Structure 1
Amino acid sequence: MPEQQHQSILDAAIHCARECEHCGDACIGQMPECAKLCRDCAQMCWTIAAYISRDSRFIPHIVNSCLNICQACADECSKHDNEHCQKCAQACRRAASEYQKVASLAGVA
């Protein structure tokens, strides 16, 4: 899974990680569950980005975990009306959609 062939997945992972980092920071102290999920999601998306960048053979094995975390984060963030949560939810849904494509192609979905 060379990086060049999967630029959209890499872009989605990085965008999601950044939005989750921002949202998690903004939610600390006010919405602890949101902050926790955002931090978990950011960590997994950074991990996926690294695996894609180095064309790891383990990508299909970790996309489902990241997919589930992104979906949980999107569900939580979509409950909140503030802009950073809405942007985070949107980024999580986009990343989840990209991860689903990888999982489906690998037969692990």
Structure 2
Amino acid sequence: MEQRNHKALIQTLLDCALACEYCASSCLEEGHVKMMVKCIKLDRDCADLCVQAARLLQRDSVIAHQYLLLCEEVCRLCAEECVKHHHEHCQACAKACRTCADACHKNHEPIYQD
């Protein structure tokens, strides 16, 4: 895939990262923060991985498309956790994570190819 085709995918990754950061910050403001710990941790992990994936795609790294497999997995984990909570920020995050996971799935490649 040529670099010029990455613009939409990079934007999807960054949108997901921002939704995760917002969700994590908002979770810290909830009344029962201890119930939100797993959500916050996954939000932070997902945001970090999505930003790194965007960086790898932007620099046209040889591992960028393989990295998307990991990104897809963490996005799906984060979405599964966020959807359990009824807060608006969690539901928005789950939606962004599902969208990102689907985009990553369409674009990742196996680690090793003959």
TM over 0.5: yes
Shift of residue 26, structure 1, vs aligned partner: 1.4
Larger radius of gyration: 2
Residue pairs, 1:4-43, within 5 angstroms:
4-28=4-28, 30=33, 31-43=36-48
Contact 1:2 1:53 in 2 (8 A): no
- 2:83 is the alignment partner of 1:71: no
Aligned residues: 106
Contact 2:76 2:101 in 1 (8 A): yes
- 3-state SS of paired residue (1:60): helix
Structure 2 residue ranges without an equivalent (≥5): none
RMSD of aligned residue pairs (Cα, Å) = 1.4
> What percentage of aligned pairs have identical amino acids?
38
Residue by residue, what CA displacement relative to the aligned partner does 1:40-74 show, whole Å, maximum 9, x if unpaired?
00000000110111111111221111111000000
Query: TM-score when scaled to structure 2?
Result: 0.86
1:60: which partner in 2?
65
Query: TM-score when scaled to structure 1?
Result: 0.90
Residue by residue, what CA displacement relative to the aligned partner does 1:83-108 show, whole Å, maximum 9, x if unpaired?
100110010001001100112xx346
